[in-house]
Amino acid sequence: MEQSPIPSPTRLTPMERELLGYVEQLVSVLSRSEQVLSALETQSSARHEAQLNTLSACVSALLEQQLIFANCLNDLVSGSLTLATLTARSDASLKQLKAAEQRLKSANAS
């Protein structure tokens, strides 16, 4: 089955020129849509990466504070830690945990 050659734009009928115009518009719209979707994907990926980085930092802070807490309890039980020192360490640890909580809330809000 042979295909007929594509007529040159100068030999197109008015209907064919109109159809060609529609095809050109569709191609243009498709190209713009592809650019917009690509930009949205990049923006979304960057936002998710930032949220994951924040989550990772907060989990690390939580683990660090758990280790400090365990060490404080161990020192308290062994008698090598005073109540005043335990209170000071606990207060510092609590401040760091609250800061991590705020970072998480900020990351989730954006």
Domain ranges, ordered by start, for the chain: 14-109
Tell me the Ramachandran region of residue 79: left when phi exceeds 0, alpha when psi lies from -120 to 50, beta otherwise.
left
- pLDDT value at 2 more than 80: no
pLDDT in tens, 58-76: 888 888 888 888 888 888 8
CA-closest candidate to residue 54, choices 99, 5, 8, 6: 99
The pTM is what? 0.57
pLDDT, mean over the chain: 85
Using 50, 70 and 90 to split pLDDT, how confident is the model at 29? very high
Share of the chain above pLDDT 70, in %: 90
- pLDDT value at 7 more than 70: no
Burial of 100 (0-12, 13-18, 19+ CB in 10 A): buried
